[in-house]
Chains A and B, each alone.
Chain A
Amino acid sequence: MVVCTGCSCLCDDVEVELDGERVVKVKHACRIGAGIFLNYNVSRAEPMVNGKPTDIDEAVEKAIEILKDSRKVAIYGLDNTTLEAQKIAIDLAEKIGAMIDNGSKFGRLVELMLKNEIPTTTLEDVKDYAYVIVYWGCDVHNSMPRHMSRYTYYPRGKKRQRGYEEDRFLVVVDVRRSHTAMLAKKNAVFIETNDDQKLVREFICALNGGVASREVLRIVKEVKKSEFNVVFGGEGLIKGLKNLEDFVEFVKMFGYFIPADYHPNSMGFFRTMFERTGRVDSYDFGTDSEMSFENALINGQIDTVLIVADDPPNSMPFDVIRKLADVNTIVLDPKRSFTSKIADIVIPSAISGVECGGTMIRSDGVCVELKPIFKSKFDDVKILRRIERGL
């Protein structure tokens, strides 16, 4: 059994069949997870300095040289790497007074979870006890394909023996009829909305016995049948919430909240940062204050970026990406990426969970130990440690 790092489900029941160094069969994984194992050796990054191929030692040495000569460094990414690598990256940021940030959008809500201001639970408890399950602003059928079948809606649990037809009530809230919303049939409601904030207030009103739409009143009636109800919020919810106070009030009345953050180890980064700084992300060790990666780059506050296991051009606004091409960019990534195309230094690394072990933390806060099928000479931990010592 190995652990899949395709998303924050971190499924630990995946079986992999090998023929030498070739993965020939993957069992129990979803499309994303199976692809990671089957194609681990496709499109691998090569060590590069200024667009020219080199060896990994020279690439690391050149990275150290650039970092030493930098006025202000940003360390970015880290959601796809291990907790051990995240800790070294944070040490490194502290040592050189760099700013550090990750790519997940869930920071504000996770900070409230870590401060115990918003009730949360584990996926195992959801499986055993949850009755009303809300997916708000997330299409988990696509982003975390085994979420519903392994942990939430479909499995039978200790107190949910009769299956989803009778023992679960599904609610999907989205701006569109997503694949997840299409699953909302029997014992289920789909709410299409363009105003999440208004809907949150409507839920609060209905939970207090007030007036609301027919769908919201039906959901609230179901909520009152159980002590254990849960909301999974995605990036759509984060984008739609103008303030978090109403949402926190709603969750406290409703039950529990778990982020539907697909990044496999953003929770690891948030937790480690919180323990070290009291903040979960966007932190400048130089000034001990808040600093977001996007703003720092746009405002010309940084001259060197060290990107670990992330590909900002695939997710960030183009004006930010354009700035990334103007500063010194060092990237650690197992695969060829858009960042590697514009980076000054490319340092190939190992795929977490496939070629190197370590720990990741699921979005519900449960630690999962990775069980790699191969062992790589270089991984994020080894490379970051070498860079840190070189500085």
Chain B
Amino acid sequence: MLRFTKFLKKVELKLVTFRDGFQVEVAKKDKFSDDFVDRSAVIFIHPETARTFGFKDEQIVKVSANERSINVRLRVSEIAPKDGALMPKSLYTSYLSSDKVLIEVADGVITKPEEIIKFNNR
């Protein structure tokens, strides 16, 4: 099946992080739960930005920075900056450690915290 999103290029956007009350609630409950992933592995894009670049609500996207990448869910929301993207502060934003990220539509599954903190020496 031919999908338009396949032709989308990588989009570079400024990344802003914030403390999301819902995400904090699940982080304080259990950082290894599906709820934590649902609330943390998410990137918010402003409706205007989504329209400009053809992103859709609930799409899975690959977010990259510093030669590292994660798959997260994209959500279209007015709480995001008009000229950038917004993520709740968590292990995912720590992993990216950047004020700028590249976003592209992905086919994979959402990255789990265990995949990020897998170190060779442990």
Question: Closest chain B residue to A235 by CB distance?
Answer: B19
One of B56-64, B85-93, B102-110 contacting the partner: B85-93
Please measure, in the bound complex, the distance between the C-alpha atom of A338 and the C-alpha atom of B27, giving whole angstroms.
Answer: 11
Question: Closest chain A residue to B20 by CB distance?
Answer: A142
Q: In the complex, what residues of A have CB within 8 A of residue B122's CB?
A: 51, 325, 341-342
Q: In the complex, what residues of A have CB within 8 A of residue B8's CB?
A: none
Q: How far is the CB of A17 from chain B (nearest CB, A)?
A: 19
Q: How far is the CB of B43 from chain A (nearest CB, A)?
A: 13
Known: A176-B16, A325-B119, A342-B122. A43 touches B30 (CB 8 A): yes
Please measure, in the bound complex, the distance between the C-alpha atom of A337 and the C-alpha atom of B33, giving whole angstroms.
Answer: 11
- Is B52 interfacial (CB 8 A cutoff)? no
Docked complex: B3-49 residues within 8 A CB-CB of A: 16, 18-22, 24-33
Question: Closest chain A residue to B98 by CB distance?
Answer: A317
- Is B2 interfacial (CB 8 A cutoff)? no
The answer to whether A43 touches B29 (Cβ under 8 A) is yes
The answer to whether B18 touches A142 (Cβ under 8 A) is yes
The answer to whether A177 touches B79 (Cβ under 8 A) is yes
| Size of B's binding interface in residues, CB under 8 A | 39
Q: How far is the CB of A231 from chain B (nearest CB, A)?
A: 19
The answer to whether B95 touches A318 (Cβ under 8 A) is yes
Please measure, in the bound complex, the distance between the C-alpha atom of A372 and the C-alpha atom of B11, giving whole angstroms.
Answer: 49
The answer to whether A336 touches B79 (Cβ under 8 A) is no
| Size of A's binding interface in residues, CB under 8 A | 40
- Is A145 interfacial (CB 8 A cutoff)? yes
The answer to whether B18 touches A39 (Cβ under 8 A) is no
- Is A72 interfacial (CB 8 A cutoff)? no
Known: A139-B19, A318-B68. A179 touches B28 (CB 8 A): no
Q: In the complex, what residues of B have CB within 8 A of residue A335's CB?
A: 28, 30-31
- Is A112 interfacial (CB 8 A cutoff)? no
One of A29-37, A87-95, A155-163, A207-215 contacting the partner: A29-37
Q: How far is the CB of B120 from chain A (nearest CB, A)?
A: 9
The answer to whether A30 touches B21 (Cβ under 8 A) is yes
Q: How far is the CB of B63 from chain A (nearest CB, A)?
A: 13
Please measure, in the bound complex, the distance between the C-alpha atom of A51 and the C-alpha atom of B78, giving whole angstroms.
Answer: 43
Q: In the complex, what residues of A have CB within 8 A of residue B27's CB?
A: 314
Q: Which of A43, A177, A314 has the most CB of B within 10 A?
A: A314
Q: In the complex, what residues of B have CB within 8 A of residue A51's CB?
A: 122
- Is A65 interfacial (CB 8 A cutoff)? no
The answer to whether A314 touches B91 (Cβ under 8 A) is yes
Q: In the complex, what residues of B have CB within 8 A of residue A325's CB?
A: 119, 121-122
Known: A142-B19, A314-B94, A322-B119. A176 touches B29 (CB 8 A): no
Please measure, in the bound complex, the distance between the C-alpha atom of A296 and the C-alpha atom of B94, giving whole angstroms.
Answer: 18
The answer to whether A318 touches B97 (Cβ under 8 A) is yes
Question: Closest chain A residue to B114 by CB distance?
Answer: A341
Please measure, in the bound complex, the distance between the C-alpha atom of A145 and the C-alpha atom of B22, giving whole angstroms.
Answer: 11
Known: A176-B80, A178-B79, A179-B79. A319 touches B117 (CB 8 A): no
The answer to whether B81 touches A32 (Cβ under 8 A) is no
The answer to whether A342 touches B119 (Cβ under 8 A) is yes
Please name 12 pairs of A and B residues whose Cβ atoms are closer than 8 Å in the assembled complex, sorted by A: A32-B24, A35-B28, A39-B28, A139-B18, A313-B91, A313-B117, A314-B89, A316-B94, A318-B95, A335-B28, A335-B30, A338-B91
Additional pairs, 19, CB under 8 Å, beyond known A43-B32, A175-B16, A313-B117:
A6-B24, A31-B25, A32-B28, A35-B29, A42-B29, A51-B122, A143-B21, A176-B79, A176-B80, A176-B82, A176-B84, A177-B79, A314-B91, A318-B94, A325-B119, A335-B30, A337-B31, A338-B31, A338-B113
The interface of chain A, by Cβ under 8 A from chain B, is: 6, 30-32, 35-36, 39, 42-43, 51, 139, 141-143, 145, 175-179, 194, 262, 311, 313-319, 321-322, 325-326, 335-338, 341-342
The interface of chain B, by Cβ under 8 A from chain A, is: 16, 18-22, 24-33, 66, 68, 78-84, 86, 89-91, 94-97, 113-114, 117, 119, 121-122
